[in-house]
Every structure is written in C-alpha cells, then in structure tokens.
Chains A and B, each alone.
Chain A
C-alpha cells in the first residue's frame, strides 16, 4: 500500500514538473533599480510568446501602491528570422517605505491557468535629508541634491524636499465628540501644475467632514526650518472622534504634477532653443499620519447628556409676554457658543396642551473660527394659545461637557411667563409683529366645507383624450379647405361663359318646366315655357349663339353631338309641335300634363346624351 502511494506521489510530481517545463516565459521587471520614497516607477510583467493578453494580479504588498495602471502593451519582433511576440501589463507604482524591498511574484493567468512571475527587488532610498522612511515634515536645502546617491540617467527624477505635504491638526488631545480640524498643507519650491486627492484617508473612529475650499489654493511664502517655501492649504477636514483611545488618521495621498528639469545629454540638438528644458512629472506624496489622543467624557455621564462638547449658552425669548387667545407669539430658543454644533440637536420644547405649537423654523450660523466651530443655532417656534390664563414656560436645559474646564456643565433658560388674555369682540387683534406668512392663518381655523356641490366628473377625465375634441379641428380644417375650393370653382365659372352656360342649363330648364306646370290650363303659356326650356337647354349646353336658336339649327347641332337618331327625330318632332302649339292653339290634341312629361323626359335624355 505504501509503495503504491509513493509511486502515485512520484507520478504526480513528475506531471507537475512537465507542466512547469511548459510554463511560458514570464518576466517581471522595474524600469529602475533604486528609487526614493514617494517617487514613481514602472513595474512591468511581460509574457513572451503569449497569444492572448494575460490577466495579471498585482502582488499585494504594503510597501508599494499603484498610482496608475494596468496598462497593456504588446510587441512583435523578428530576430534572425524568428518571430516572437511579447504581451505585457505595466503599472506605475510608488514606493512607500525605504529599504531593500521585494515586489513579490505576480499571479499571471493565461487561458485559465495560473502562473507566477519572478519577484523583483528594488532599493528604496529614503528621501534625501530625511531620516524617517515616510515623507516627513523635515526639509533640506535643495543644494544638497548633488549629493544624492544615484546619478545614473535612469534614476527617478528629483525626489525632493522641494515638495512636501503635511497634515497639521489644531489639537492633539480631545474628548469624544470634540472636533479636530486637520489642515493639509503643501510646501513647494517648484512649480506645481496640478494636484489630485482621490479620497480621504482611513480614519477609524472618526466622523469626517470636509470643509469646502472657497477658492483655488493660494501660494504664500513660508519659512520652514530656515528654508523658503511657497505654501498652500490644499484641504481642511474636520474629524469628530466617535470613540476614545489612541486614534490614528492615516496619511493622505496626494498626486502632483510638477515641473522638473530634464537631464542634459550631449545631444547635437541639445540647444535651449530646440529643447524644452523642463518636463512635467507625476509625483505621489503622502502626508504624515496624525495621532490623536481621544479621551472618553468622564463617567458617569449625566442622565440628559446628549453628546454636546464645547462651551455653550442657551437663551430663550418671547416676542411679547402678553397675548390674546388665538394670537400668535414667537418663541426663540438660541444655543450660542463653540463646539460640536454640527452633530448637536437643540432640546425639545414642552408646553401645556392649551398652546398650539407649529413646526419651528431653524436657523443656524456657524463659522470656523481658529479651527473651531463658533456661532449659534436658533429655533423659532410659533405659539398660538387657545385658552386664557397665565402660563410659565419651564426652563429648558442642555447638559454639555466643557472641554476647557474638563467637567459637565448645564446651561438653562430662565422660566418665562406668558399672560394670555381672553378676546373680547371689540378688542382689536394684537399681533406680535411677526411677518411670517403663516400669521395670516394663525388665528383662524379651517374654512368650512362647501355645501353646494359642483358637477361631478369622471376621475381621470381628460378633454384632450376625447375624439370629439379633435373632430372639431378636423371638421374646421375640412370646412376651410372646402370654402377655398368652392370659391375657386365659382370664380372659374364667372370667368368662363361657356362653362357657366352649360352648368346653368339644366337648372334654367327645370325652372321653365316648373313655370309651365304652374301655368296649367293656359295652353299658350305652357307651350311657350316648354319651348323656351328645350331651346334654352340645348343652346346653353352647346353654347350656341342666340341667332341660331331655331328648330332646324338646333336639331342639326344635337345631331352632331349624338348618335341617337331616334332622340334627334323625337326632339325635332317635339320642337315643331311646340312651335305649332304656340302659334295655333288647339291644334294639338294631347293634354298639357302629357306634353310636360314628354318635354321633361326629352331634356333628361338630352342631358345624358350630350356631354
């Protein structure tokens, strides 16, 4: 059994060696051998002959921090006819500590398989002139830069005390709840183009609030340990400790873009006219960490202590001490002083039920004076007494911890008397000089309901969603278009005589036949009208001149326009009959209604035949 296990183990290890042998070539490297603390360098992991871009996990290490990246790159080269490709990922990294440091192997994942790169060691030198590792507040004269240990052209650009940042707390010993203001300041001897702060540092046990900087940082000359600097406040943050102990606010990381002088080379083109002497360089600086001693407020805490720390004074005031029932009176409660205003609530006002109290208006004016919050918080209540009588507004208390005298103190208001007079009908209403819009509403109640109902409507009814509404617009549009066309047609008829006659022909004939029907027994008249109707109709329809309106000519004209011989003959016969009837009444034996029907029929037939 043991031998079997041994064989199995050997086999497995042999397999892994085979796999390892197939591992692609992975090279991790840095572009420099040694850097100064706080300076950036490039860390690169390359995979040779990789077909896909590898996924690389930057080794987790406390000594280095990524400033920029990952950035992917690929390179192809043909060497002696052998093609090779390299894919890589690079990071811009900053060293945080001095010493001989090692970047542990990076995990490289290629096609779901995990490999490891080599470890890279790098020598991190402390900032020149600085004895501590982290960027400290100490400074050095810039003349010392010539003594810097590494002068090779590949060294990091001037790591310098030319540029430094500091975190300066206004106090270092506070109690819980007492604000600490930390000012982050820049000291520089070079030109700074730009700076950026990613996020506030970790501050466990604090509640942080940034103070908005109203303007761009202004540079001011300042001497630090005998060296001239330009200084500027980059950020101000107020920290409220929420628990006690030795608390630390971690260093704040600030990225800078600064002006640096380029290394001169013996280049032919090394001419100030052609070459830009200055370059822009990225730099990452860390401030010092801030250690604070936070004490608990002394135990036991008073029962009604709500966390106020500082020096406060509470004051209350009524607009007037004498009011009438239903008359509004203003009540001011003001908390004034220095301390943790932002996290503080004013004590509640408790009043008898006979006084209506409206939601207070809040007003606060808090300024940062000498790194401490100073100002006041004010609540203005509007009170409306509903019953007459004397009322004492009880004292209002606030317990706070005095951070200077190191003990609890209580500030309270004095009791205030309010005399409420009954309203007599003839007494004019006395208002307390309040200008709030609510005052108008104060001494009244809700207006009474409406007993006359207006018509009910369907919920969600919308007139614009009704089809009839839009129909009116459509109808109007049609009406307008219709009018325009109608008028145009009328115009055309007026200007065109032939058309006008033709259009009027049938109507005229109809009118004449109507007259004939009316004439009834008067045979002569009937014959006359019928003859007029027929002759007029043919004349108008064919636009014949007046003089050619004789029987023969008419029959001839109709014959030209139609193939209906029978109709022409009938027409001819009818015209002759009518002529005869007109001039020799009694000759025709047919009755007048028959004749009228006959004539009407003929005109109708004609209207169909001659177009």
Chain B
C-alpha cells in the first residue's frame, strides 16, 4: 500500500535535485565570469555574460539581481527595474534585492502619488508575497501527504487510542492543506498577472489601441504597470494609482 507514496517521493526528489544540478553546472562558469567582470567594473561585459545565461533559457534570483545591478551601473533604469523585479519574484524575502529595487526606483522620472494604505493592508500584502509559488506548492504537497497518512492511520485504528490521536493530526493537516492550497492558488493568480516595465525613455499612453487615438499621459523609463487586456501589439495597462491606458507592446517588457 505504500507504493504510491514511494513513487511520488522519488518523483519529487528526482525533479528537485537532478534537474537543477545538471543544468547548474553549465551556467555556473558564465555566472562566475560575469561576477568577475562586475567586480572589475566592466559592467557592459558583465551584462553580456549574464544575458547569455538568460538566453539559454535559465535564470536564478542571484543572476537577475546581479544583472539588475549591472544595468543600473550602465544607467539603464528600465532594464535594471525589470531584472530586479524578476529577482524579487524569484526570491521575495531577500533583503538585498528589496533594498536595491527601492533604491533604483528612486532614479526613475515618474513618481506616483499613491493613496496611503493602512499598515494592516500593507502587512497583509507583504505577507501575501512572502513565499514563492514553488514554496507554497511544495508545502501544500507536504500537507497533503500528511493528510493522507494520518487519515489512513486514523481509519485503520478507529476506536483505538492511536486512531483518535491520528484523527487530530488529520484535522490539522486538512486545515493546513486548505489554507496553504488556497494561498498557492492566490499566489498562482498573482504570478499569472502580467506586469510590465516601461523600457523606452518616454512612451505615450493612448486612450485606444490605435496610433491616432488621444494621448492620455506620458510615462518614462522604469514605470511599472499591470496588463489588463491585450489587443494586437498593444497592452491596456493599469498603474498603481489607478490610471489606465493603452501602450504599444514593444515599448515595455514583461516582468
């Protein structure tokens, strides 16, 4: 009867360890060379080396963070914010990433007047992004396994002492599973929301996805927004202060 558990445990281990280790070996060298170039102050070369790894289809929080820093040194505020945001998404609790992201944001031209939010809401929002989707999903799986095992023990030992004890574990595991599962779905929804960063020095935000439509306002490099909808090569974006408008897709990059 332990067959499925064994299989899934093996699968988890396989996917968690083997794949990352095999891939890691190929890119670690590029990464080291990039770090060395950065340390020597050769930022352009560092950016090229880091970008090679990204072009190879792989990423990591440290890579995005280093690349973001290098871009900032080259005065590319938009690129820098893009990569630091990606790093933040990969590793939301990293203080260095948060610090540099806030720092770089000071250098962009647009500063929004955000309505003040209460400390409680602020805390809730930061808690919501405290774990990555991966962490939450794995926690959900652990809760699930605990739920299944405790249920089996409880069912087998109904009326006996160990059965009753297993029932409490089962109840706890179920509650945890629902909470963590819901949280992962929320995190998934957050992750699937398309976020963009303005990459051009100045970009016009139109009232409709047509070149000739009225220009509502102008955004500068590094400004962020959420994509509400898409039409051909246009995004309808919404800023943090609630303004919306259409922007050409090639003027922005997706986080």
Which residues of A have CB within 8 Å of B23? 456, 458
Which residues of A have CB within 8 Å of B152? 479-480, 483
Q: Are A471 and B63 in contact (CB under 8 A)?
A: no
* Residue of chain B at shortest CB distance from A359: B111
Which interface residue of A438, A456, A480 has the most chain B CB atoms within 10 A?
A456
Known A446-B72, A459-B57, A475-B8: A441·B102 in contact at CB below 8 Å: yes
Which residues of B have CB within 8 Å of A469? 137, 141
A478 on the interface (CB 8 Å rule)? yes
Interface-located stretch among A291-299, A447-455, A598-606: A447-455
* Residue of chain A at shortest CB distance from B192: A462
B188 on the interface (CB 8 Å rule)? yes
A468 on the interface (CB 8 Å rule)? yes
Known A449-B38, A449-B66, A464-B133: A456·B60 in contact at CB below 8 Å: yes
Which residues of A have CB within 8 Å of B61? 454
- B57-101 CB mask vs A (1 if < 8 Å, else 0) is 111111101100110110000000000000000110000100110
Which residues of A have CB within 8 Å of B72? 446
Q: Are A458 and B65 in contact (CB under 8 A)?
A: no
Q: Are A458 and B103 in contact (CB under 8 A)?
A: no
In chain B between 198 and 227, which residues have their CB closer than 8 angstroms to a CB of chain A?
A: none
Rounded to whole Å, the gap between the CB of B99 and the closest CB of chain A is 5
Q: Are B111 and A361 in contact (CB under 8 A)?
A: yes
Q: How far is the CA of A457 from the CA of B111 in the complex (A)?
A: 33
* Residue of chain B at shortest CB distance from A361: B111
Q: Are A472 and B31 in contact (CB under 8 A)?
A: no
Q: Are A452 and B62 in contact (CB under 8 A)?
A: yes
* Residue of chain B at shortest CB distance from A475: B4
Interface-located stretch among B117-125, B142-150, B242-250: B142-150
Which residues of B have CB within 8 Å of A358? 106-107
Q: Are B35 and A451 in contact (CB under 8 A)?
A: yes
Residue in B54, B111, B191 whose beta carbon sits within 8 Å of that of A459 in the complex: B54
Which residues of A have CB within 8 Å of B21? 455
Rounded to whole Å, the gap between the CB of B78 and the closest CB of chain A is 15
Q: Are A480 and B99 in contact (CB under 8 A)?
A: no
Which residues of B have CB within 8 Å of A361? 111
Which residues of B have CB within 8 Å of A466? 15
Q: How far is the CA of A43 from the CA of B100 in the complex (A)?
A: 71
Q: Are B133 and A463 in contact (CB under 8 A)?
A: yes
Q: Are A450 and B188 in contact (CB under 8 A)?
A: no
B53 on the interface (CB 8 Å rule)? yes
Q: Are B1 and A446 in contact (CB under 8 A)?
A: no
- A359-401 CB mask vs B (1 if < 8 Å, else 0) is 1010000000000000000000000000000000000000000
Residue in B62, B134, B138 whose beta carbon sits within 8 Å of that of A454 in the complex: B62
Rounded to whole Å, the gap between the CB of A313 and the closest CB of chain B is 26
Which residues of B have CB within 8 Å of A473? 144
Q: How far is the CA of A464 from the CA of B31 in the complex (A)?
A: 28
Which residues of B have CB within 8 Å of A456? 20, 23-24, 27, 53, 58-60, 63
Which interface residue of B8, B54, B109, B137 has the most chain A CB atoms within 10 A?
B8
Rounded to whole Å, the gap between the CB of A488 and the closest CB of chain B is 10
Q: Are A450 and B62 in contact (CB under 8 A)?
A: yes
B127 on the interface (CB 8 Å rule)? no
Which residues of B have CB within 8 Å of A475? 4-5, 7-8
Q: Are A446 and B103 in contact (CB under 8 A)?
A: yes
* Residue of chain B at shortest CB distance from A447: B96
Which residues of A have CB within 8 Å of B28? 453
Q: Are A450 and B11 in contact (CB under 8 A)?
A: no
Q: How far is the CA of A324 from the CA of B138 in the complex (A)?
A: 50
Rounded to whole Å, the gap between the CB of A124 and the closest CB of chain B is 40
Rounded to whole Å, the gap between the CB of A234 and the closest CB of chain B is 28
A476 on the interface (CB 8 Å rule)? yes
B156 on the interface (CB 8 Å rule)? yes
Q: How far is the CA of A453 from the CA of B59 in the complex (A)?
A: 10
Q: Are B58 and A462 in contact (CB under 8 A)?
A: no
A484 on the interface (CB 8 Å rule)? yes
Q: Are B1 and A453 in contact (CB under 8 A)?
A: no
Which residues of B have CB within 8 Å of A565? none
A221 on the interface (CB 8 Å rule)? no
Which residues of B have CB within 8 Å of A458? 23, 57-59
Q: How far is the CA of A456 from the CA of B25 in the complex (A)?
A: 9
Q: How far is the CA of A453 from the CA of B91 in the complex (A)?
A: 12
Rounded to whole Å, the gap between the CB of A248 and the closest CB of chain B is 27
Q: How far is the CA of A413 from the CA of B108 in the complex (A)?
A: 28
A487 on the interface (CB 8 Å rule)? yes
Q: Are B155 and A438 in contact (CB under 8 A)?
A: no
Known A450-B96, A462-B133: A482·B1 in contact at CB below 8 Å: yes
Q: Are A454 and B91 in contact (CB under 8 A)?
A: yes
* Residue of chain A at shortest CB distance from B111: A359
Q: Are A453 and B103 in contact (CB under 8 A)?
A: no
Q: How far is the CA of A462 from the CA of B7 in the complex (A)?
A: 21
Known A451-B35, A458-B58: A441·B99 in contact at CB below 8 Å: yes
Which residues of B have CB within 8 Å of A449? 35, 38-39, 62, 65-66, 69-70
Which residues of B have CB within 8 Å of A471? 8, 11
Rounded to whole Å, the gap between the CB of A447 and the closest CB of chain B is 5
* Residue of chain A at shortest CB distance from B185: A464
Which residues of A have CB within 8 Å of B20? 455-457
**Nearest 7 pairs of A and B residues by beta carbon:** A475-B4, A449-B66, A450-B62, A455-B20, A476-B148, A456-B58, A472-B8
In the assembled complex, 13 residue pairs joining A and B whose CB atoms fall closer than 8 Å, in A order, are A441-B99, A454-B61, A454-B62, A458-B58, A459-B57, A463-B133, A463-B134, A466-B15, A469-B141, A472-B144, A475-B4, A475-B7, A483-B1
Binding site for A on B (CB under 8 A): 1, 4-5, 7-8, 11-12, 15, 20-21, 23-24, 27-28, 31, 35, 38-39, 53-54, 57-63, 65-66, 69-70, 72-73, 90-91, 96, 99-100, 102-104, 106-109, 111, 133-134, 137-138, 141, 144-145, 147-148, 151-152, 155-156, 184, 188, 191
Given contacts A450-B65, A454-B60, A480-B151, 12 further A-B contacts (CB under 8 A): A359-B111, A438-B106, A444-B103, A446-B100, A446-B103, A449-B66, A449-B70, A453-B24, A468-B15, A471-B8, A472-B8, A472-B12
